[in-house]
Amino acid sequence: MKIISSIKELRDQLRGQRGIVFVPTMGNIHEGHLSLIRLAGQHGERVVVSIFVNQLQFGPGEDFVKYPRTLDRDIEKLQQENVYMLFAPTEQDMYPSPQEYQIYPPHDLCYTLEGKFRTRFFCGVSTVVMKLISCVQPRIMVFGKKDYQQLIIVRQMCEQFALPVEVCAAETIRDADGLALSSRNTYLTPSERSEAPTLFRILQHIRSTVLTTGHRDFTKIELSAFQTLIERGWQPDYIAIRKRANLRLPQLHKEHEPLIVLIAAQLGKTRLIDNLEI
């Protein structure tokens, strides 16, 4: 695996190569990332992974400083996989001058759900992803469904800018008790870790309520789940049943449109997100 940090060297190395499959990450590589990388490997031989903790997508008071940076261990894990190149730029490599040109996704998608609580997040993600695409020039990019809103926003950005890249979605990887894998799980204390799978159980309960009872009063379902989380000591930000295609509110009479339930809640000092397709 080649390890590259500067954009210039990356361009020199990748010049003329077609069919690159790209997996952008912020490092602290776990089984979730490895599943994205293995899916990438099914789409082509030249898998490029990036590791860059992107300051632009963190708001003030968020965990940019304490975000786990484990480059040496990440490299060891990536070397076990079929990764052609790791692009691990420094802040200076990626943003040699302040990034004043940025991507602003459409308001209704950017400032709902996650974006309501993390107002810089999707501008920061879209901007860095656009820049990474420009550097790596992949044919395919793999994103996890765990960050579902991110997946939808990046996919729409690529479509609207007619970027010659296909966005491929990978399933969420969970621990045996249902907790979705995330770098932020490392912040959980042992007792919080045993409570954390509640999030997935609530998603499953909502899914089966909608599917088995045909219950369409989504606000009531969301409120009841919200209450359950509060009673168990969580601070929920949102629990929302939305249209899977664009995350807009579902139309109640359209029974067969694909839905998704998304959740974000804080447990102690750790904020977790998850979702489940209905």
Instruction: Give the annotated binding-site residues.
Output: 26-33, 57, 144-147, 150, 173, 181-184
Burial of 266 (0-12, 13-18, 19+ CB in 10 A): middle
> Is 128 among the residues that bind ligand PAF (CB under 6 A)?
yes
> Is 125 among the residues that bind ligand PAF (CB under 6 A)?
yes
What would the x/- binding string for ligand PAF be over residues 52 to 91, using CB under 6 A?
--x--x----------------------------------
Stretch that binds ligand PAF, among 22-30, 208-216, 240-248, 265-273 (CB under 6 A): 22-30
Strand order through the sheet with 235-243: 235-243, 259-267, 270-277
Q: How far apart are CA 150 and CA 167, in angstroms?
A: 11
Three-state secondary-structure class, residue 113: coil
Burial of 169 (0-12, 13-18, 19+ CB in 10 A): middle
**Contact present, 13 and 85 (Cβ < 8 Å):** yes
Is 256 a known active-site residue?
A: no
Q: Which residues are annotated as a binding site for (R)-pantoate?
A: 57, 150
The residue (of 128 and 206) whose beta carbon lies closer to ligand PAF is: 128
Token pair of 18 as six digits: 């077609």
> Is 274 among the residues that bind ligand PAF (CB under 6 A)?
no
We find the least distance from the C-beta atom of residue 43 to ligand PAF, in angstroms, to be 17
CA 179 to each of CA 38, 183, 207, 221: distance values in angstroms, whole numbers, following the listed order: 21, 12, 16, 21
Angle CA(35)–CA(165)–CA(43) in degrees, nearest 5?
40
We find the least distance from the C-beta atom of residue 47 to ligand PAF, in angstroms, to be 15
The residue (of 46 and 146) whose beta carbon lies closer to ligand PAF is: 146
What would the x/- binding string for ligand PAF be over residues 176 to 215, using CB under 6 A?
----------------------------------------
We find the least distance from the C-beta atom of residue 26 to ligand PAF, in angstroms, to be 4
- What is the β-pairing status of strands 2-4 and 85-87? parallel
> Is 40 among the residues that bind ligand PAF (CB under 6 A)?
no
Non-local CB neighbours of 133 within 8 Å, separated by 6+ positions: 22, 141, 158, 163, 165
List the one residue from 7, 21, 24, 78 that touches ligand PAF (CB under 6 A).
24
Question: Which position among 33, 107, 253, 256 bears the catalytic label?
Answer: 33
> Is 26 among the residues that bind ligand PAF (CB under 6 A)?
yes
Which residues are designated catalytic?
A: 33
